[in-house]
Homo-oligomer: A and B are copies of this chain.
């Protein structure tokens, strides 16, 4: 647990920045890697503007569905993406945020040789939520998803 109630994953991804960006911002390229298998994403909508919808539905191996409803806060193409489940579209507070109010800051930098410095930061409003997110498996989950993202980019073609 870090100051500002942050959890952070930092990785050098063996994938070019433009593909990593597309994997985060296009539903068809997000769905294949976003959930650690055998969980999967079965629905996704992305409206890439501040206040725009970032929606996805995760499905457990048993078929249970977990919808995640959020909005984008800041978009700097191929560099920075910020979204939160603290709001629904229209700037309505989202008291049913699943599983807790979270804001995600993603940072992407060229690392040379077609690799990308990748940083994913989850911020919370309380130390309890931070701890809960960590216990839910933030570090393992994001690491597996990052591996899946890299593997998926190898299939994206030119």
Instruction: Give how many copies assemble into the complex.
Output: 2
Within 8 Å of chain B (Cβ to Cβ): is A143? no
Within 8 Å of chain B (Cβ to Cβ): is A86? yes
The interface size of chain A toward B, counting residues with CB under 8 Å, comes to 22
* CA of A57 to CA of B126, assembled, Å: 24
Q: Which residue in B82, B91, B126 is a CB contact (below 8 Å) of A91?
A: B82
Within 8 Å of chain B (Cβ to Cβ): is A51? yes
Are A125 and B93 in contact, CB atoms less than 8 angstroms apart? yes
Within 8 Å of chain B (Cβ to Cβ): is A95? yes
Leading 6 A-B pairs by shortest Cβ distance: A93-B125, A50-B50, A95-B125, A82-B91, A93-B123, A51-B74
Chain A residues in the interface with B (C-beta under 8 A): 4-5, 50-51, 73-74, 82, 84, 86-87, 91-95, 101, 103, 105, 123-126
Q: A51-B73, A93-B125 are in contact. List 16 more A-B contacts (CB 8 A).
A: A5-B93, A50-B73, A51-B74, A73-B73, A73-B91, A74-B91, A86-B86, A86-B125, A87-B103, A91-B103, A91-B105, A91-B123, A92-B123, A93-B101, A93-B123, A95-B126
